[in-house]
Amino acid sequence: MASLDRSIVANVPIFASLSPDELDAILRDARSVRYPKDGAVFDQGTEAHSFFVLLHGHLRVEKTTPQGQQIVVRYVSAGELFGVAQAMALKHYPATAIAVVDSVALAWPSTLWPELIAKFPALAAGALQTVGSRLQDSQARILELSSEQVEQRVAHALLRLAKQAGRKVEHGVEIDFPISRQDVAEMTGTTLHTVSRILSAWEQQGLVEGGRQRIVLRDPHKLFGIAEGHGK
Amino acid sequence: MASLDRSIVANVPIFASLSPDELDAILRDARSVRYPKDGAVFDQGTEAHSFFVLLHGHLRVEKTTPQGQQIVVRYVSAGELFGVAQAMALKHYPATAIAVVDSVALAWPSTLWPELIAKFPALAAGALQTVGSRLQDSQARILELSSEQVEQRVAHALLRLAKQAGRKVEHGVEIDFPISRQDVAEMTGTTLHTVSRILSAWEQQGLVEGGRQRIVLRDPHKLFGIAEGHGK
DNA sequence: CCGGCAGCTTGCGCTAAAGCAAAGTCCACC
DNA sequence: GGTGGACTTTGCTTTAGCGCAAGCTGCCGG
């Protein structure tokens, strides 16, 4: 059991530089938790009691405005560190994390973070890198929202999803978890209706293949063209 | 000279927890550089040779798409850490930093970062916090771009600018550096024309007072109302 | 096996804001 | 003190994509 944990955790970039002994020491303080599909791992605004590494499954991280508008911040896949609010000096989680399929995560009490980085300075560097790459992602998204048309943004979003959680299937690459038109809309700053229209049009052209909470990319290369603006 | 530096650097959150001796040690490796108005501190895509703390002045950080579209990522004010690409494991600066007024910064060679955080673990924690708060900002901006109308976004942008770099003047709060309509457009994902129209309308109602590269907020409270959507 | 509902599609009209075009206006520099 | 260019304003036209509305479909639970 413990060795299973160690082997999967070894692939987490933030833990990669640690020795097996160090890994075991860190894993001693973790507990493994199971989240059923549609279960919340944590809720926006609640106290940031833990930080996590996802062992298995997929999470949707979403954020709601005071006015009730909702956006999808990102999806978390196995091996990723998440819920590190405390490390950024936040008392409360700034977003909600929901399991989109049955999932399993390792959880550490947030209070342990300071000792852990004191004992393993590489952890701090790793966390900085994790947060840094998320910052990059966010800024790329701001650029997209500022300068691209909806069609390009949807293409970009699908390509990113395929890269992060794509599974090769017979006719292309399928997003490896249930995702609705509404979810895509909340990732791209548009509406359910517009996403549906775009996907329908693409399906006509054989670029994608759809279904209820299912998206398969049949021609990623052409989609990439659309994302880059050569589509129109 | 050194003591002047130490006193201003003591206000930088990331250095706040260090003792005077430690501060002096860190400052020994820094050089102070002057950037004239409109001068570049670093350029997007170039090697990330240094990281910086701004001592005096204001910088505009901007990012350009492959297609040539440009956005303003943020403004940097005195006391802020910036250019920490290397800490996030980036080889190249992901954006360009331009002095919008004559400015002075402390610069350290990026290569020093690993030793510095090894010697002063608080630095890593501080950097994590800095990057974390930028991530928060970025995500707030994504939310705005996804869910708000242009008018609300412009109101939010002005309020943020006023908070960060506002100077009390007779009739309100003035943004303390030259900023064009174009700049505001690039902060809010809209066009020069739309910003100009909005500001003109607000000027009519006495909410703001304009001018060439000059913006004064005369009624921040009402602007806040617009930002929250109670405007219309 | 069937009913109902969550998720999806599609048509239509509307509007916010972009694009285009043409004048101001102010400042800096000669 | 004048002149050119950068910055701004403003009118008009166009359009992407939103909001509303109605109907469809496939899945899950009974």
Query: Which CATH number belongs to the domain containing residue A188 in this structure?
Result: 1.10.10.10
User: Is there a single domain that holds both residue B8 and residue B73?
Assistant: yes
- Does A45 reside within a domain? yes
pLDDT of residue A18: 86
Q: Please tell me the predicted confidence (pLDDT) of residue A232.
A: 45
| Token pair listed for B145 | 């771009």
Question: What digits encode the pLDDT tens for the residues B188-227?
Answer: 999 999 999 999 999 999 999 989 999 999 999 999 999 9
DSSP string, B152-182: HHHHHHHHHHHHHHEEEETTEEEESS---HH
One domain, residues B132 and B154: no
The answer on A83 and A39 residing in a single domain is yes
Q: How many CB atoms lie within 10 A of CB B226?
A: 22
Same domain, B203 and B154: yes
User: What confidence score (pLDDT) does residue A125 get?
Assistant: 87
Domain end residue (candidates: B138, B160, B192): B138
Looking at the predicted structure, is the pLDDT value of residue A1 above 60? no
pLDDT tens profile B81-137: 999 999 999 999 999 999 999 999 999 999 999 999 989 888 888 899 999 999 999
Residues A9 and A67 in one domain: yes
For helices B150-165 and B192-204, the axis angle rounded to 10 degrees is: 80
Q: Please indicate, yes or no, whether residues A87 and A176 belong to a single structural domain of this protein.
A: no
Q: Identify whether A58 is part of a domain.
A: yes
In a mutational test of the A interface, the residue from B138, B188, B230, B232 whose CB has the highest number of chain A CBs within 10 Å is B138
Alpha helices in B65-149 (DSSP H): 113-119, 121-147
* Reduced DSSP (H G I as helix, E B as strand, rest coil) percent helix, strand, coil of chain B, to 5: 45, 25, 30
Does one domain contain both B189 and B219?
A: yes
A106, A27 Cβ separation under 8 angstroms: yes
Domain of residue B28: give its range. 2-138
* Residue B73 within any structural domain of the chain: yes
**Helix, strand, or coil here: B227?**
helix
Q: B152 pLDDT exceeds 50?
A: yes
Percent of chain A with pLDDT over 90: 80
Query: In the listed set A81, A111, A134, which residue is the last one of a domain according to the structure?
Result: A134
Residue A203 included in any domain: yes
* SS3 state of residue B22: helix
Query: What pLDDT, in 10s, does the model give residues A67-94?
Result: 889 999 999 999 999 999 999 999 999 9
Answer yes or no: is pLDDT of A220 > 70.
Answer: yes
- Classify residue B180 by burial, with Cβ atoms within 10 Å: 0-12, 13-18, 19+: middle
**Across the beta sheet with B96-99, what order do the strands follow?**
B40-42, B96-99, B58-64, B70-77
- Flag whether A232 is in a domain: no
Averaged pLDDT, A193-197? 98
Is residue B232 included in any domain, yes or no? no
- Residues B96 and B178 placed together within one structural domain of the fold: no
Q: Which of B69, B139, B192 to mutate to test the interface with A (most CBs of A within 10 A)?
A: B139
The per-residue pLDDT for range A107-163, each reduced to its tens digit, is 999 999 999 998 988 888 889 999 999 999 999 999 999 999 999 999 999 999 999
Structural domains counted in chain B: 2
pLDDT in tens, B55-68: 999 999 999 998 88
pLDDT in tens, B153-186: 999 999 999 999 999 999 999 999 999 999 999 9
Whether the CA torsion A170, A171, A176, A181 is positive or negative: it is negative
Is B212 inside any structural domain? yes
Do A87 and A119 lie in a common domain?
A: yes
pLDDT of amino acid B15:
87
Q: What is the pLDDT of residues A156-184, one digit of tens each?
A: 999 999 999 999 998 899 999 999 999 99
* Cβ distance of A147 and B71 shorter than 8 Å: yes
Residue after which a domain boundary falls, among B71, B103, B138: B138
List C-alpha distances in Å: B96 to A33, A104, A143. 43, 41, 14
Surface of B (7-66) touching A: CB under 8 A: 63, 65-66
Q: Is B232's pLDDT higher than 50? A: no
Confidence of residue B8 (pLDDT cuts 50, 70, 90): confident
How many other CB atoms sit within 10 Å of the CB of residue A46? 12
- Per the CB < 8 Å rule, is B117 touching A132? no
CATH of residue B36's domain is 2.60.120.10
Q: Which amino acid is at A51?
A: F
pLDDT at A103 > cutoff 80: yes
**Same domain, yes or no: B117 and B8:** yes
Per the prediction, chain B carries an average pLDDT of: 93
Same-domain check for residues B115 and B155: no
In Å, how far is B33's CA from the nearest CA of chain A?
26
B173 and B109 in a common domain: no
Among candidate residues B132, B153, B142, B145, the one with its CA nearest the CA of residue B81: B132
- Pair of tokens at residue A64: 């709601």
Question: For residues A183 and A59, what is the distance between their CA atoms, to the nearest angstrom?
Answer: 12
Contact indicator for A61, A95 with CB cutoff of 8 Å: yes
The CA distance from A19 to A8, in Å, is 14
Asked, for residue A81, whether it belongs to a domain, the answer is: yes
